Copies of this chain bind each other. A is one copy, B any other.
């Protein structure tokens, strides 16, 4: 996994985003931990490395990254938006107990991306996710 700052720099600059120190470090964090973080998650971790960091900068950076298709914004039933460094279409499993988010990459009829039209309506995006109890939480239940 490439998390070298130079590589990250070229990666985001190729997407048309100037690579400021804050943006680089936030991008590094997103690549390192692919855990669908909230703005708060990112802020809490990054402010330790960048003590002057403002939460507004995290919001601005997330919005910019989404706009430039560097990340995807996910909004599950909860309140806070979550961000996904994996932009290719995939779905998620959200644990009702520990609230962890898992990527679902197995080929699943879930995404019938092949239906381009449904009831006469033109599909541009298919959003889907599962909710339930995750593997870990099942095992931890004695």
Residues of chain A at the chain B interface (Cβ within 8 Å): 73, 75-77, 93, 95-96, 102, 104, 106, 108-112, 115, 118-135, 138
Contacts and interface: CB of A to CB of B under 8 A. Distances in A.
Contacts of A111: 110
B127 A132 contact: no
Task: Tell me the number of copies of this protein.
Answer: 2
17 contacts: A76-B127, A93-B121, A93-B123, A95-B121, A104-B118, A106-B119, A108-B115, A110-B128, A120-B134, A120-B135, A121-B130, A121-B132, A122-B132, A122-B134, A122-B138, A124-B132, A126-B128
Chain A facing B: main interface SS: strand
**Most B Cβ at <10 Å: residue of A106, A115, A123, A130:** A130
Contacts of A124: 96, 131-133
